[in-house]
Amino acid sequence: ELGAAAERAQPFSIEGAEVDIDALERAFAALVDRHEALRTAFIVVDGEPRQRIVPSVDVGVRYVDLRQSANPLDEARALAEADARTPFDLAAPPLLRVLVIAIPGDDARTAIILTMHHIVGDGWSQEILVREVTALYTAFRRGEPSPLPPMRIQYKDFSEWQNRANFATEESWWLN
């Protein structure tokens, strides 16, 4: 129900259990530590754009409890829309925000709104991030270490390879 409200945000939810905020914060911290792109600042040096990867950042998971609200779904939608409209400072990573909303119902339900600037990811990468944070959250909630293998390459490595590669065959195909 929250998905249509925030076009630039990826909603997912935890149902049937109270969310463990500590495990969720640790999961997002591990996710940001894992992906350099999420710790990248975009700055201008001598009139030229530059990337600067910072060693660590605080994700700052924001928690809103709407379980006592008279109109929780309307309030949740408004919060998600406001978050999606809030601009990012490209020089101040992380370029993602996490909004956790507790919603009333017969079973415990928590919506998690992940809003990410398009410069560090797209819909495809958001799906990967949601899978990874889900795996991290599950492990941390059980008191286990991260189940994810170390990253072999980062996005900047792929980007550098792509900039050096010769795509003459592909270019010819597209031009034809």
Neighbours of 107 (CB within 10 A): 7
* Residue 1 pLDDT: 27
pLDDT confidence of residue 42: 93
* pLDDT confidence of residue 105: 73
CA 73 from chain centre, in angstroms, equals 22
Please state the pTM of the whole predicted model: 0.79
Are 31 and 57 in contact by the 8 Å Cβ rule? The answer is: no
- pLDDT value for 97: 94
The structure tokens listed for 159 are: 């980007």
Per-residue pLDDT of the chain (176 residues; tens, 9 = 90+): 223 233 345 556 565 567 899 999 999 999 999 999 999 999 999 999 999 999 999 998 999 999 999 999 899 999 999 999 999 999 999 999 999 999 887 666 788 998 999 988 887 788 889 899 999 999 999 999 999 998 787 666 666 767 777 788 888 888 88
**Dihedral pair phi/psi, residue 110, rounded to 5°:** -130, 125
What pLDDT is recorded for position 3? Answer: 30
Q: Which helix (H) or strand (E) holds 111?
A: strand 109-116
End-to-end CA distance of the chain: 44
- What count of other Cβ atoms lies within 10 Å of the Cβ of residue 53? 13
Contact (Cβ atoms closer than 8 angstroms) between residue 116 and residue 28: no
